[in-house]
A and B are shown apart, each in its own frame.
Chain A
Amino acid sequence: MTRRSADAKDEGMAMTTEPGKGGGLTARMRRLAAPRRRGKVARRTGATIRMLAALVLAGGLYVAVAPATQAADAATLSRSAEDGKALFDQNCITCHGRNAQGVDGKGPSLIGVGSASVEFQVTSGRMPAARQEAQIPRKRTFWDGEELQQNAESLGQYIQELGGGPQLPANVDPSQADIAKGGELFRVNCASCHAFSAGGGALSSGKYAPTLEPATDRQIYAAMLTGPQNMPVFGDNQLSPQEKLDIIAYVQGMKSDQDPGGWGLGRFGPVTEGLAIFLVGIVALVFATLWIAGKS
């Protein structure tokens, strides 16, 4: 049972006690108005019936008022989510706890993170994490190929059905997007951490913005939507779905864009350029001086 549905149940209980008390009050008023006429058994039976009626009323009210889907989900998981739950209980439960409620000092609660987050973390190999550190790095995925896609989907479905949250659109297709617009948005929103070349950059205390080199279209979309680890969330109010596709088109375009100037030196900017001028330029020319001065 999820936390949310448990809360809802508590509310329901509160509602049941309310009318019950009300019933007691009327009875007391009646008692004050007239001397007692009924027997103990009759009174007890009446109270029980009133109590049952109140319970039925409260339960009915709850079923009518509470979101129908959640109430249904809490009771039953879809088949895919059942698979996801099985995977979760086997691989994720150590850190994220029973029912994805989180474990203090180990892993956060996954209630409400949505299937987009699960897809990002699992398909990029970040989850399951190898160890606790400043930031969970991208690594080889736990499953491969078709199995990875299926398991990520099932896990995502499970987390989604547990607590909702952001979901990826079925089809992330940046082929029709505006690259120039995406570049502008990338430079304003993303470059300050991922750097102009999307090669990544350092944050404080061992944290970092990773390189986008291995990221797929869906992963970039999911990252913007869910804001994994130290990344802020770029919800659809900040960047519309179309703008997200523009950014993805620009990032992916940069990868296929072969450096027109030659070897890109990792596109790290002046640091590697400075290294190159000493390691290549100065070293080559010092050898030249040795050669020329040796010819006397």
Chain B
Amino acid sequence: MKRRKVDLKALPGATANAVDERFKVARPLRGILNKVFPDHWSFLLGEIALFSFIVLLLTGTFMALFFDPSMTEVKYDGSYTPLRGQEMSHAYASSLDLSFDVRGGLVVRQMHHWAALLFVAAIIVHMFRIFFTGAYRKPRETNWIIGLLLFWLAFLEGFAGYSLPDDALSGTGLRIATGIMLSIPVIGTWVTSSLFGGEFPGHVILDRLYIVHVFLIPLVLLALITIHITLVFIQKHTQWPGPGRTNSNVVGERFFPRYVMKQAGFFMLVFAVIAAMGGLFQINPIWLFGPYRAAVVSAGSQPDWYVMFLDGSTRLMPAWELTFSIAGHQYMIPGIFWPTVVLPGILTVLPMAWPFIEARKNKDKSIHNLAQRPRDVPQRTALGAMAVSFYIVLLISGGNDIIADKFHISLNAMTWAGRIGLLVIPPLAYYITHRIALGLQQHDREVLAHGVETGIIKRLPNGAFVEIHQPLAPVDDHGHPEELPYVNWTVPKKMNRLGALGPAIRGFFKPIEVPVKPQLPPAPEKEREKTSV
């Protein structure tokens, strides 16, 4: 029999050709694989969210194999002694079993929870980057809105997950959610009773939250994430301005193979960080909380960090009740309505409208593909700092009882500090950030005009001292540098940025090559020959 020869070199090409003949993928794939992505650390923050979402899907699927959301009461007889014999819902019992009796269950549960916290944290950090660099401007307004929707969906998804184990903490969270829903005028009671199938807690809420948590919201999240990333491909990624980079090109690496390889490596790193946290740090110890009972409310009951700002706004809100009557009927809007329904409403709508508000204010209809440095748009940066400080005051107030207790501060003082801080700190943050941005701009302009400080001090004949500056631009006949235009990009401010002190040393954490020791230049060849002869 004749042995068939396999030409290994032709194999990939032949395979690709076979695939293309059948599925006609060469043309679309070429576009995608050749896509160029600019390289900067701040463009990788969204990926943290994407990769933690993948970890969430993986760990969540594992847990769904063991978790049962049923609210039927059972007697616990698992291996955690301090709860044995206690009456609890089947949901809680199966969460305990998942933690103590399923091999690897606890570490997967903890990874899932850490990944959830990381998911929302990365979304927030990514959102800050987009905002402060103006990357939401035309044509990317839609993707900004989708991103905001993703945040709120992640928020709901996280809250649903927090409520599922039916421990005392998640029950308390659900109880508060009920209170918030009840505070909505006119439809509040209807919304609550239709969601809970009657009075809180009822018998159906966990089954409903379960399908919302494992199917509905993940599906919408997945769809929106796909659109979010597809839009980045279609609209191309923004890039920083710089040499060779314009509004109509992209300078960077091709999607395949380098970018894909880097992203694969980054996914491993994100997975590793989540796995390390899941294995090393205990999160949500549901066995300490015990089963949910309406009478059990622990001190230090907090939601996960991404809901904590609403807890904070609730804690700071004075107990103001609004009573009025319409057509002889008495109505009352409780204080909780403003910080938990109206505030999130504003926080949803206002950011979504922001790209259009800014474009209208600046009468700006052009397309922007270059990211802006925060210092170059001082007003936006200052507004952003204002929003961030507002958020941080609320976030800290959400944990103010823990802070008060552990740092020996009066809880009342914390609450009043939060109330006053909420009004005083954001304007201060605006002013300070605005001044810092202008100051940084000013310094850039100074260097462009006069050059880089060399650190060499010269004494003039009249006794005065001056520092010698290295001009960045060519000098005129009198030795004065020409003034360079401001280009919204990094200005070298140190002599070694200009190559004066030899090449920059490579290596991230420690130098991977020993810098050359300064030495006298060797004598020219010819001279040496002369002396040797």
A-side interface residues toward B, CB under 8 Å?
134, 179-180, 182-184, 187-188, 191-197, 199-206, 208-209, 250, 253-254, 257, 259-265, 267-274, 276-278, 280-282, 284-286, 288-296
Chain B residues with CB under 8 A of A286: 41, 45, 125
- In the complex, what residues of B have CB within 8 A of residue A183's CB? 82-83, 86, 290
In the complex the two chains form, what is the Cα distance from A250 to B253 in whole Å?
60
Q: Are A203 and B411 in contact (CB under 8 A)?
A: yes
Whether, in the assembled complex, B308 has its beta carbon less than 8 Å from a beta carbon of chain A, the answer is yes
Report the nearest B residue to A259, measured CB to CB: B282
B302 touches A270 (CB 8 A): yes
Out of B114, B280, B305, B411, name the residue touching A263 (CB < 8 Å). Answer: B280
Q: A205-B412, A274-B117 are in contact. Are A253 and B299 (CB under 8 A)?
A: no
Report yes or no: B118 in contact with A192, Cβ–Cβ below 8 A. Answer: no
Q: Contact check, A187 vs B298: say whether CB atoms are below 8 A apart.
A: yes
With both chains docked as a complex, state the minimum distance between the C-beta of A144 and any C-beta of chain B, in angstroms. 25
- Tell me which residues across on chain B come within 8 A of A272, comparing CB atoms: 402
Q: Which residue of B82, B266, B404 has the most chain A CB atoms within 10 A of its CB atom?
A: B82
Q: What's the Cα separation between A293 and B129 when bound, in Å?
A: 16
Rounded to whole Å, the gap between the CB of A223 and the closest CB of chain B is 16
Look across to chain A and name the residue whose beta carbon is closest to the beta carbon of B410.
A206
Would you call B305 and A277 a contact (CB within 8 A)? Answer: yes
The reply to whether A261 and B293 contact each other, CB–CB distance below 8 Å, is no
Q: Does B100 contact A (CB under 8 A)?
A: yes
Contact at A274–B298, with CB atoms within 8 Å?
Answer: no
Given A180-B84, A281-B114, are A196 and B281 also a contact pair (CB < 8 Å)?
no
A199 CB to closest chain B CB (Å) equals 7
Distance in angstroms from A132 CB to nearest chain B CB is: 15
- With A262-B281, A270-B305, A274-B305 in contact, is A184–B86 under 8 Å at CB? yes
Query: In the complex, which residues of chain B have a beta carbon less than 8 angstroms from the beta carbon of A282?
Result: 48, 118, 121-122, 125
**Residue B73 at the chain A interface, CB threshold 8 Å:** no
Q: A180-B81, A273-B284, A292-B266 in contact; A262/B302 too (CB < 8 A)?
A: no
Of A184, A200, A274, which contacts B290 at CB under 8 A?
Answer: A184
- Judged by DSSP, the binding face of A is helix
- As a 0/1 sequence over residues 266 to 287 of chain B, the CB contacts with chain A under 8 angstroms (1 = contact) are 1001100110010111111100
Within the assembled complex, what's the spacing in Å between the Cα atoms of A139 and B409? Answer: 18
12 A-B residue pairings within 8 Å (CB atoms): A191-B299, A196-B289, A202-B401, A250-B82, A260-B106, A261-B282, A270-B284, A270-B304, A274-B117, A277-B121, A277-B305, A284-B273
Are A201's CB and B45's CB within 8 A? no
Give complex CA distance A272, B282 in Å: 11
Measured between beta carbons, the chain B residues less than 8 angstroms from A191 are 168, 296-299
Known: A202-B401, A289-B45, A293-B39. A180 touches B83 (CB 8 A): yes
| Contact of B43 with A by CB under 8 A | yes
The chain B residue with its CB closest to the CB of A135 is B408
Partner of A288, one of B266, B284, B295: B266
Size of the B side of the interface (Cβ < 8 Å), in residues, is 74
Q: Please tell me if B110 contacts chain A, counting CB pairs below 8 Å.
A: yes
Evaluate contact between B402 and A264: CB separation under 8 angstroms: no
Asked if B41 contacts A292 (CB within 8 A), the reply is: yes
Beyond A263-B281, A267-B285, whether A281 also contacts B41 by CB under 8 A is no
The answer on a CB contact under 8 Å between A277 and B114 is yes
**Chain B 390-427 per-residue mask, 1 if CB under 8 angstroms from chain A, else 0:** 00000000010111111011111100000000000000
CA distance A269 to B45 in the complex (A): 26
Which residue of the partner chain B has the closest CB to A193?
Answer: B299
Closest 4 CB pairs of A and B: A274-B305, A201-B299, A261-B282, A271-B399
Residue B295 contacts which of A188, A194, A202, A261 (CB distance < 8 angstroms)?
A188
Contact of B40 among A182, A253, A293 (CB under 8 A): A293
Contacts known (A209-B299, A273-B304, A276-B277); A268 close to B290, Cβ less than 8 A: no
Chain B, residue nearest A209 (CB): B299
Most buried by A among B48, B99, B274, B405: B405
Q: Which of B45, B299, B304 contacts A202 (CB 8 A)?
A: B299
Residues of chain B within 8 A (CB-CB) of A259 are 282, 285
B121/A292 in contact, CB under 8 A: no
Alpha-carbon distance A259/B280, docked complex (angstroms): 10
With an 8 A cutoff between CB atoms, is B42 at the interface?
yes
Cβ-defined contact, A281 with B404, below 8 A: no
**Contact at A263–B299, with CB atoms within 8 Å?**
no
Chain B residue contacts of A203, Cβ below 8 A: 411
A205 to B413, CA, bound (A): 7
For B43, B274, B282, which residue has the most chain A Cβ atoms within 10 angstroms?
B282
Tell whether B359 is near chain A: CB-to-CB under 8 Å: no
Determine whether B229 belongs to the interface, using a CB cutoff of 8 Å to chain A: no
> Is B348 positioned at the interface, with any CB of A under 8 Å from its CB?
no
Also in contact, A264 and B302, with CB within 8 A (given A179-B82, A183-B83): no
A195-B413 Cα distance, complex, nearest whole Å: 21
Q: Are A196 and B269 in contact (CB under 8 A)?
A: no
Complex Cα distance, B409 from A203, in Å, reads 11
How distant is A15 from chain B, measured CB to nearest CB, in Å? 52
